Each structure stands twice: as structure tokens, then as C-alpha cells.
Amino acid sequence: MTPTPTPTPTPTATPAAARRGALAPAPATEHRRGGALARMIVSEARLLVRDPAAAFFSLGFPVVLLTVLGLVMPWADDPFSDQDPLLAQITAITGYTPIVLSLAIATIGLSSFPVTVATYRQRGVLRRLSTTPVGPARLLVAQVLVNLAALVVAAALALVSAVVVLDIELPRQPWTVALAFLLAVLSVFGLGALIAARAATTGAANGLGMTAYFVSLFFAGVWLPLPIMPEAVQTVATYLPLGAATQAMTDAWVGAPFPTQQMVVMALWAAVATPVAVRIFRWS
């Protein structure tokens, strides 16, 4: 009778190898997630640069608008407001500069941004992205970061052009203006993210976005400067992202006390609206 061969025992992993095997997937997953966000940012930046209309409204619109207003409008060199001693010290075009910056933020945050995300949803792009490590938060963050960078460049170009061509006064509190500008972008894009998170089609996003856009422009003082509006309108504007942005940047421009209330309002909009948008985000 032939003896049955004894099976060769399978070597077991050493404790060190077992620990390495257990820990390996986590860093790889985190790396993939971080890489997905980076790729999304690069992709969105390329799409922005390759789209002439989007590139113009993101980078060139504030420069053109502010320069045309300063050169064409007869009131450009008049005092911004005779009713306020601080505002009376600056020209109308200087006082209108924060309004133009707010307008630029709203144009991207409430018009272009929601439509872009809704277009992705309508074309099935978001459905495909839902199977990747790119979650709603990363998608929205990528959009905000790319557009924030574009708006910073646009604001810098507009200020340089306005100083050289229109001889506007530089802000007396530049760091406060910069903080107000950053919070304005985050708060307005938070409002835009709520629309982008739910709008099923491009038409729906455009309709909702443009409604929020024109209402925001009114309370930002685009058609009529806030200092000469009724007090009730100014009070309402303080609690809206774009109205608070215009007030905060204008106060910092003329050297008024730090606009605490407006800064808090914008911070709250950013802190509440964006997480809610991530929570209610729909892929299809």
C-alpha cells in the first residue's frame, strides 16, 4: 500500500506582514481621494480656460465694466454720497468699485456655477462621477476653488486698471477688503451650491440662479447705491450674502470701523449653505 503524502503546510504571514497588509488599503484610499480632488480641480481649471465666455466673465468682465463706467458715466468723478462724511471723501467710481467686485462674484456664483453643475447632471456626467471617489463635497470644493482663483485674478486686474486709468483711491483697509472679498465668494457660492445641488436641468438652474442673481444685485446696490437707499432696504441687505459683501468692502474701502455684523453674516451663510448643499446633493 502506497503511503499518502503529507500535505505541505501553507506558510503563514508573519505578524509584521499581516500588519502591513491590514494597513495598506487605508493610505491608498486616502491617496486616491486626494488625487481625485486634485484631478477635478485641474480638469475644471482647463474647462474654464478653454471656454471663451466663461473665461471672459470670470477674468475680464470686472475690468471692462469698471473701466467703461469710469470713462463713460458723467457722475464718475462726483462724490459718492453727500449724506455720509466718509463716502463724500471718495469719488463715485471709487465707491462703485466694491459693487463691481460683488457683481463679478454673483455673476459666477449664482449664474455660471449652478448651470455648470446642472449641465453635468443633465448629460449624465454626475452619474458617472458617483461611481468614483469624487463625492459631492469634492465636486463643489473644486468648483469653488477654481472660481475663487479666477475671481482673485479678476479683482487684481480690475484694481490695477482702475488705479492706472481711472485714478481711483486704493482701500484704506486692504486686508479687511480682502477678507470681505473671500467671505463674499464663499457665502455667494454657498447660495449657488444650494441651487446646483438640486436643479435637475440646465433650464431649472438658470431660472433659479438668475432669480437669486437679480434679487442679490438689487440688495448689493448695483442699480442704486445702498447708502442712498431707504434704511429698511439697507437693513435687509445686511443679512444677504451680496448685500453684506458690498457693505463690508465699502466700509473697509473708506476706513470705517470693522464691519463685524456683515462679516458674521457672510461667514454664517458659507458655514450653513455649503454643508446643506452637500447633504441634499443629487447625482441624477
Q: What are 46-71's pLDDT values in tens digits?
A: 988 888 888 888 888 899 999 998 89
132 vs 20, more confident: 132
E strand map for the chain: none
Given a contact cutoff of 8 angstroms between Cβ atoms, the answer to whether 251 and 257 are in contact is yes
- Predicted TM-score (pTM) above 0.75: yes
What pLDDT score does 131 carry?
Answer: 84
CA distance 271 to 85: 35
Per residue in 235-244, is it b (16+ CB within 10 Å) or e — as a string? eebbebbbbb
Q: Band the pLDDT of 33: cuts 50, 70, 90.
A: low
**Is 112 a member of any domain?**
yes
Domain contains 78: yes
Residue identified by cell 471617489 is 133
Indicate the angle between helix axes 15-23 and 25-50, nearest 10 degrees: 30
pLDDT at position 114: 95
Q: b vs e for 5-30, b when ≥16 Cβ sit within 10 Å of the residue's Cβ?
A: eeeeeeeeeeeeeeeeeeeeeeeeee
Stretch (H or E) spanning 221: none
What's the pLDDT at 124? 92
Is it the case that residue 23 has pLDDT exceeding 70?
A: no
Binned at pLDDT 50, 70 and 90, residue 75 comes out as confident
Residue 61: half-sphere exposure toward Cβ, Cα within 13 Å: 19
Give the per-residue pLDDT at 164: 92
Establish if 134 belongs to a structural domain.
Answer: yes
Q: Is residue 1 part of a domain?
A: no
* Predicted pLDDT at 58: 85
User: What is residue 25's predicted lDDT score, i.e. its pLDDT?
Assistant: 41
pLDDT at 176: 97
Whether 195 maps to a domain, the answer reads: yes
Go through 43-58 and write b for each residue having 16 or more CB atoms within 10 A of its CB, e for each that does not: ebbeebeeeeebeebb
Q: Which amino acid is at 237?
A: A
Q: Which residue has the higher pLDDT, 266 or 93?
A: 266
Q: How far apart are CA 184 and CA 101, in angstroms?
A: 10
For residue 237, is it within any domain? yes
Task: Using the predicted structure, report yes or no on whether residue 225 has a pLDDT greater than 50.
Answer: yes
| Domain residue limits at 86 | 34-280
pLDDT above 70 covers a percentage of the chain that reads: 88
Residue 4 covered by a domain = no
Question: Which of 6-20, 64-78, 95-109, 145-159 shows the lowest mean pLDDT across its residues?
Answer: 6-20
Query: What whole-number percentage of the chain has pLDDT above 90?
Result: 57
pLDDT tens per residue across span 155-171: 999 999 999 999 899 99
pLDDT tens sequence across 185-224: 999 999 999 999 999 999 999 999 999 999 999 999 888 8
Residues in the chain, how many? 284
Average pLDDT, the chain: 85
pLDDT at 229 over 50: yes
| Domain presence at residue 19 | no
- Work out the pLDDT band at 27, boundaries 50, 70, 90: very low
pLDDT tens column, 252-272: 999 999 999 999 999 999 999
Number of domains in the chain: 1
Give the model's confidence band at 227: pLDDT under 50 very low, under 70 low, under 90 confident, else very high: confident
What average pLDDT score do residues 111-133 get? 91
107 pLDDT above the threshold of 70: yes
pLDDT at 238 over 80: yes
